[in-house]
Amino acid sequence: MKHINHKTIDSAANTSENTHSSDDSSFSELTEGKQSRLIEKIKVSIAEIVNGSEKPLNTNFSNYLSAKLRYNYTYMANLFSKAQGMTIERYIMLRKIERVKELLILGKLNLTEISYVLHYSSVAHLSNQFKKVTGFTPSFFKHKSEKR
């Protein structure tokens, strides 16, 4: 006879309507249209932060997204990955690198200022991520774009 974990059942029963578990069956909790809207809201929320229309974060992206959209982060992350073929973290990184490129081309901010504005822990972290994604250092990219 299987042992039933009543704590699990009780906590599942007390879970709010907008908080979802991370297993595949939870994806059916939202209709396809609602799933698409939630993914779009995730993208818009990320764009607001990356493009600077939101004030600097006092928390990490996962906490910010959960609080703003009122969904469990694991649920959103699994839904996003399944629909987009990449993690939310990878999407954020790619959006930030695109923004770094734009700011480098504009030339109004130096790399230290860009790293601060885009919530990087350091210029070295920004530079390493930039090179990993683009294959170039930020300095080389800026120099190359100035020649165009």
For residues 69 and 38, the answer to whether their CB atoms sit within 8 Å is: yes
Residue with tokens 């399944």: 82
Domain 93-148, CATH homologous superfamily name and number: Homeodomain-like (1.10.10.60)
Task: Kindly report, residue by residue over 20-51, the tens digit of the pLDDT.
Answer: 444 444 445 568 889 999 999 999 999 988 88
What is the C-alpha to C-alpha distance for residues 104 and 137, in angstroms, rounded to an integer? 11
Helices 88-106 and 73-84: crossing angle in degrees, nearest 10, is 70
For residues 115 and 63, the answer to whether their CB atoms sit within 8 Å is: no
Structural domain spans, the chain: 17-85, 93-148
pTM over 0.85: no
Residue with tokens 């300095």: 139
Is residue 17 very low, low, confident or very high in pLDDT (cuts 50, 70, 90)? very low
| Amino acid sitting at position 103 | L
Is residue 55 very low, low, confident or very high in pLDDT (cuts 50, 70, 90)? low
Tokens of 92: 């954020």
